[in-house]
Amino acid sequence: MQNKGSKPVAVVTGGSAGIGAAVAEKLLQQGYQVINLDIQPGPGEYKACDVSKVAEVHQVIAGVQADYGRIDLLVSNAGRHLSADIEQTTEAMLDELFALNVKGAFAAVQAVLPQMKQQRDGVILLMASDQAVIGKRNSFAYNLTKAALASMARTTALDYASFNIRCNAICPGTIDTPLYQQAIARYCAKSGREVSEVHREEAAEQPLGRLGKPEEVAALVAFLASPEAAFITGSLQLIDGGYTAQ
């Protein structure tokens, strides 16, 4: 085993764009050695990895453990959205979304736990959604996957509390990311509506009158990973501008 330094080590999946990139950048600023598992390069030490493939995730994370001798934080962020109701959702679409959003998180959590148990210390943060606690129209499969991540956070927190491993789910509302922009563009292309009008409507739906920023989610990640959050585990941490309070 090599030891590349004394910095805390964070594994971030899907860390090359949007919320994931903001998280990786924030953790780098906080002094972490960030290992970014993604299918495209981004901040931190990039490791090409398709997180929907369990064996690939285990192999890459085993390499991180061998290189650094520690894993202090996992941020399981990789995922994507699907706009469709249950009738519009094919079996193939459901399988593909679960493979990325749920099985990807399963693989990453499973892979980091042996090292964290050995350390008797670690933090696991799963990027869920406000849809972990509420339903939204035209979002059947995505809603299912995010509810699954909420369940994963609770059960993992309970199963590994005796090892001083904390696990929480972060539940962002509508955040202005490339994925959000792409979803709006697809909707407008299908409906014929003006992009600017839809953006205004989305902002108006939030009690704070605007969309969230990836950097705001990253700040919550940094707090939950810190010693100041040492008594927080098994929780769903909403960051949605008050949307679910309505």
| Average pLDDT of the chain, as a whole number | 96
Q: Where are the domains of the chain?
A: 9-175+213-240, 176-211
> What's the pLDDT at 5?
63
Catalytic site residue from 32, 68, 142, 180: 142
pLDDT, average across residues 193-219: 96
CATH of domain 9-175+213-240: 3.40.50.720
Q: For residue 81, how many other CB atoms are within 10 A of its CB?
A: 19
Distance CA 120, CA 185 (A): 46
Concerning whether 142 is annotated as a catalytic residue, the answer is yes
pLDDT, average across residues 153-182: 96
Q: What are the distances in angstroms from CA 132 to CA 2, 142, 186, 207, 234? A: 39, 9, 23, 19, 14
pLDDT tens per residue across span 37-54? 999 999 999 999 999 999
DSSP at 219? H
Percent of the chain with pLDDT over 90: 94
Identify the sign of the CA torsion 35, 20, 246, 229. Answer: positive
pLDDT tens per residue across span 215-228? 999 999 999 999 99
Element at 121 (helix H, strand E) = none
Distance CA 206, CA 91 (A): 33
pTM of the model: 0.96
Identify the sign of the CA torsion 8, 168, 119, 42. Answer: negative
